[in-house]
Amino acid sequence: MGFWEVTKQLADGFSVTLLIFGVTLLCSLPLGLVITFGSMSKWKPLKWLTKTFVWIIRGTPLMLQIILIFYGPGLLFKMNALPRMTAVLIAFIINYSCYFSEIYRGGIESISKGQYEAGQVLGMTKSQIFFRIILFQVIKRIVPPMGNEIITLVKDTSLARVIAVAELVKAAENIVSMRSIIWPLFYVGAFYLAFSAVLTLVLGQVEKKMNYFN
């Protein structure tokens, strides 16, 4: 099997990887903020419910969560399983929302009280203060840790193969087991490296753009 043929087959796997990455990022960025509001709520039951949920999600392996979401319904309740890709996406979105929510919380809590007081002096409402004063400072501060998490997400997509979703690594494993050639398994590293290089550049640009009031 030639280099280009392997590349073409791996590209198919890579498109699945990109899909998982894109959908997860798109959904968990806003969902993370919702969870942050939950865990910072002044209403105690909601706060503890959210914190317990985040603890469970962050405290168990993502691989286990994927397995549970896909096989759980059929094994426990004799229900029909979700499509494989849907199960993967749900697991990733929930997992990454929880991690993002904690980064958001750190960002929000790092803003000094003086900023809120200044808003109050100007006669702004609480939501005005949050969306007009606090949020942009938070975004600026959380770009580096978010970048970390986003690059981790690129590589975590390879976990989708536990329920036989043919992402990049699985695509390579398929070639290895069918054609009895080994190098494609290591060649996938180039795809991940190239993709994270692009992301690093993009994140660098975002940080530059955020470089106001400094």
Residues in contact with another protein by CB under 8 A are 34, 37-38, 41-43, 45-46, 49-50, 53, 67, 70-81, 126-127, 161-164, 166, 173-174, 176-183
Residue type, 14: F
CB of 132 to another protein, least distance (A): 15
Judged by beta carbon, residue 75 or residue 190, the one nearer another protein is 75
Judged by beta carbon, residue 116 or residue 206, the one nearer another protein is 116
- Tokens 């590293």 sit on residue: 189
Question: Is residue 168 a contact partner of residue 10, using CB atoms and an 8 Å limit?
Answer: yes
Judged by beta carbon, residue 38 or residue 119, the one nearer another protein is 38
CB of 46 to another protein, least distance (A): 5
CB of 6 to another protein, least distance (A): 12
Judged by beta carbon, residue 135 or residue 176, the one nearer another protein is 176
CB of 212 to another protein, least distance (A): 28
